[in-house]
Amino acid sequence: MATLRFTKNHEWISVEGGVGTVGITAHAQGQLGDIVFVELPEVGRKAAQAEAVAVVESVKAASDVFTPVSGEVTEVNGEIAANPALVNEDAEGKAWFFRIKVSNEGELAKLMDRAAYEAFVKENA
């Protein structure tokens, strides 16, 4: 079963078999509004936890997307690069940004589960 965790920067990661699938949360998408552009990281890029590795742009603003854990990018979602509006439709599903081979599973413990993330969003609304 996959482990789902969230960051204070509004990214989610679902980890299964040492590989994490990363995207932005539905809350982040809602705050940004209509997504019009996505810049994805290069496959093979190594990144440290909380490093900016992608960019998402909406009609309102541009935001960095940070990796929730350290590791190496193994795959990117070309569908959202070609059709950024997918993020508006399914931010926490089909519109994942990248997959990363997790180099330190202990970093997952620093992230929030869904209940803690939802409480965090309410406190910071």
For residue 102, tell me if it sits in a domain: yes
CA atoms of 99 and 15, how far apart (whole Å)? 9
Its domain, for residue 63, covers: 3-117
Residue 113, pLDDT above cutoff 90: yes
* pLDDT confidence of residue 1: 73
Q: Which of 82, 84, 87, 47 is nearest to 66 (CA)?
A: 47
For residue 123, tell me if it sits in a domain: no
Q: Confidence class of residue 2 from pLDDT cuts 50, 70 and 90? A: confident
For residue 125, tell me if it sits in a domain: no
4-57 pLDDT, tens digit each: 999 999 999 999 999 999 999 999 999 999 999 999 999 999 999 999 999 999
CATH of the domain at 42: 2.40.50.100
Q: How many domains does the chain have?
A: 1
For residue 79, tell me if it sits in a domain: yes
Q: Which of 29, 20, 26 is nearest to 100 (CA)?
A: 20
For residue 124, tell me if it sits in a domain: no
For residue 49, tell me if it sits in a domain: yes
For residue 47, tell me if it sits in a domain: yes
67-107 pLDDT, tens digit each: 999 999 999 999 999 999 999 999 999 999 999 999 999 99
